[in-house]
Amino acid sequence: MNYERAKKLKHDEFKRLCGVTPQTFSQMVKLVENQEKLKKKTGRPSKLSLENQVLMTLEYLREYRTYWEHPTFAVSKNA
């Protein structure tokens, strides 16, 4: 889901999607914007807006499950 669709969600649905409230999301985007201004511009510009980059990162972190969280599996972290 992209940010244009996500910002139309209800407050609770937005939080369920990415784990933060819309207000916190806006603050996070502002922080990323400030850091982007300080960055030396090299390489190709991103095709994704900063809002979409932050949303994608939050969705990934919300959905990503590590083996540490699943101790029932006998899997080495080196595997």
- pLDDT at residue 10 tops 90: yes
What residues does each domain of the chain span? 3-69
- Residue 45 is predicted with a pLDDT of 87
Q: What's this model's pTM, rounded to 2 decimal places?
A: 0.78
Q: How much is the average pLDDT of 2-8?
A: 94
Q: How much is the average pLDDT of 34-42?
A: 89
Angle at 45 between CA 39 and CA 49, to 5 degrees: 90
Report pLDDT digits (tens) over 69-79.
Answer: 666 655 555 55
- pLDDT at residue 63 tops 80: yes
Residues 6+ positions from 62 with CB-CB distance below 8 Å: 17, 18, 19
- Residue 73 is predicted with a pLDDT of 57
